[in-house]
Structure 1
């Protein structure tokens, strides 16, 4: 009886967490390594910068952070926060380097899109760096439109920006 309620072995299961949850630690830790390697800089400084966002920005009602677990281990994750009254901004999209090219990031972004729509946003915005061609390919393949330049924003702005309108429920 209880067997049916457990997720199948190898099935990706998403959980909502806060930025300070231990399940989010691998996301922050590996992103720090990856960003430092791709863009230069000391890993500890990149790590501190990643942790510099106020946790509340990634919490309900305006934001959220999801971690994808595979057999109980975090393998993918990402967040969103309010960009403006109708737009959510994707942040920190990550898949563990040992689990890439298996569709986890696509499943994550789709799940984030569902959560963003459920929160009443009608559009998603994101920026990414110019040394992340995998990210660019993912967003284009999921129906995002590349913008000529990023939208004006406070704080970090990366050179490559995308937007996507969410379908309106009728």
Structure 2
């Protein structure tokens, strides 16, 4: 085997904080051994960085969808399966334009009568009685403010409030 005494320049990256620089080192080989250096670590680091960045992008996109309109409607239960007379939750805060659904669960009959709020609250009321589980009534409030409502047959205990922000 022939001896190789040639010198080669190798760029060795060095990272300090946010600064990246390259320093050169001379490598000489006095033996006839062939050395093959394959850079695996930088590629693995790059792949890991791409994966982390991709995951962050997906999480950010999901957060934006939730924040700007891909949210679920607000559901307010009327009564409970075991017969409790209440609106659940009794107080909610929603964004203007968000759909609110009242769902009859138990302790019938129920209705929804708005008695306070901005604009024509009488138009929001559902005076007809719900007499079966699963019946629903939906509204969309676009005017900001506080809306108070109650169940006429159970007005002493079933009262609620919606705040539109």
Q: Would the TM-score normalized by the shorter structure come out above 0.5?
A: no
Give the structure with the higher percent strand.
Answer: 2
Give the structure with the higher percent helix.
Answer: 1
Normalised TM-score (structure 1)? 0.26
Normalised TM-score (structure 2)? 0.27
Work out which of the two has the higher radius of gyration on C-alpha atoms and give 1 or 2. 2
